[in-house]
Structure 1
Amino acid sequence: MKKTFIMLLAAAALYGCNQSKPATEAVDANTPTEATSATTYGATFAEENVIPASELQQKAANQDSLLATVSAEVVESCQSKGCWMDVKLTDGSNMKVTFRDYGFFLPVEDLKGRTVVFTGTAKREVVSVDDQRHYAQDAGKSEAEIAAITAPKEELRFVADGVILK
């Protein structure tokens, strides 16, 4: 009986993790002749006081954490579940964006080059070798690229409460 219950619980958890439906859809008309659509994942939020990723780096430089709404370009995203994305920073580096408590996921498609606006908390973290390798595997990197990761690194990370995919 215990084994059956545990297996059912595990199956329900796996099924729940694979749900990646958008919370809402909004249409934004940028020009009178062409309308673009944006989809919100996670918590809905207003696009107010949005700062570019370049300003986020400067503002977060001397703080433990910073609440912000940020606009950036996607460089890479999780091809396994849609549970993270990397966005471009001005110094040539990337910032990993994860989603609070795995509460939502982005589509498992190539989001490279897409503009996103996200809101949440930025902070500096030391990322372990195991975590770096896990993210590289999710991104579909080769075994050689994964094996080349041998040292922890400190980087600016972001935990998003909501994301608008443009």
Structure 2
Amino acid sequence: MRTILSVILLAVFTLSACNSKEVQEKSTDVSSETLPIGYFGEEINDQGVNTLDRLVAVLETENEFHGKVVGEIKEVCSKKGCWMTIDLPNGESMRVTFKDYGFFVPKNAHGYPVIIEGVATKKVTDVATLKHYAEDAGKSVEEVEAIKSPKKEYAFEAIGVIIQDNA
């Protein structure tokens, strides 16, 4: 009887140790040293990629741009990577969100070259959303409170992202 009890206790302790290690590994945050390269969302490819100049030109005459573009990530949501921005050749920036919030990008991806596929539009973003974005970007309370009016901006809803090595 003692042997059976000893085996059961040993099994319980072993399983308990394994489970705590598994939980610890899952809760470990991605190090800022980890390269943020790879595919996110739907797996897309680099064929048929347009320039940002082309995207801006299309949106000057049409309501939407469908396709892929290449750029460089300027800023990433510091909370969970739920959006990023890309500077455009006309001096403006474009906010990239991810279809149905189905995926995010690494928070340390700023400065990396990127290919995105999806739909771009020009839209007006309301004050509440602009404040939310500013908070996500880690802006100060004063900077957030200074936002008083809606903003016309370029928006891109991506179905897939390739973050490339910036070597």
Matched-pair contact (CA < 8 Å) for 2:36–2:106? no
Higher helix share: 2
Counterpart Cα distance in 2 of 1:86 and 1:163: 13
Which residue of structure 1 aligns with residue 5 of structure 2? none
Structure with larger Rg: 2
What one-letter code is carried by the residue in structure 2 that aligns with 1:77?
V
- C-alpha deviation, 1:37, in angstroms: 9.1
Instruction: Supply the distance in 2 between the matched residues of 1:101 and 1:50 (Cα, whole angstroms).
Output: 23
Partner residue, 2:136: 138
Q: Partners in 1 of 2:99 and 2:60 — Cα distance?
A: 22
* Partner SS state of residue 107, structure 2: coil
Q: After the TM superposition, list the runs of 4 or more consecutive aligned residues in structure 1 that deviate by more than 2 angstroms.
A: none
Q: Which residue number in structure 2 is paired with residue 53 of structure 1? A: 52
Q: Give the number of the structure whose residues are more often strand, by fraction.
A: 1
**% same residue:** 38
Alignment correspondent of 1:126: 124
Paired with 1:158 and 1:123, the residues of 2 have a C-alpha distance of 6
Alignment partners' CA distance in 2, 1:85 and 1:52:
18
Q: Normalising by structure 1, report the TM-score.
A: 0.74
Residue ranges of structure 2 left out of the alignment (5+ in a row): 1-34
Superposed CA deviations along residues 33-57 of structure 1, whole A, max 9, x for unmatched, are: xxx9940000011211111212211
User: Post-superposition shift, 1:153?
Assistant: 1.1
Determine the C-alpha separation between the residues in 2 that align with 1:151 and 1:69: 31
Task: String of CA shifts for 1:123-142, please: whole Å, max 9, x gaps.
Answer: 11110000001001001011
Query: Structure 1: any 5+ residue segments left out of the alignment?
Result: 1-35
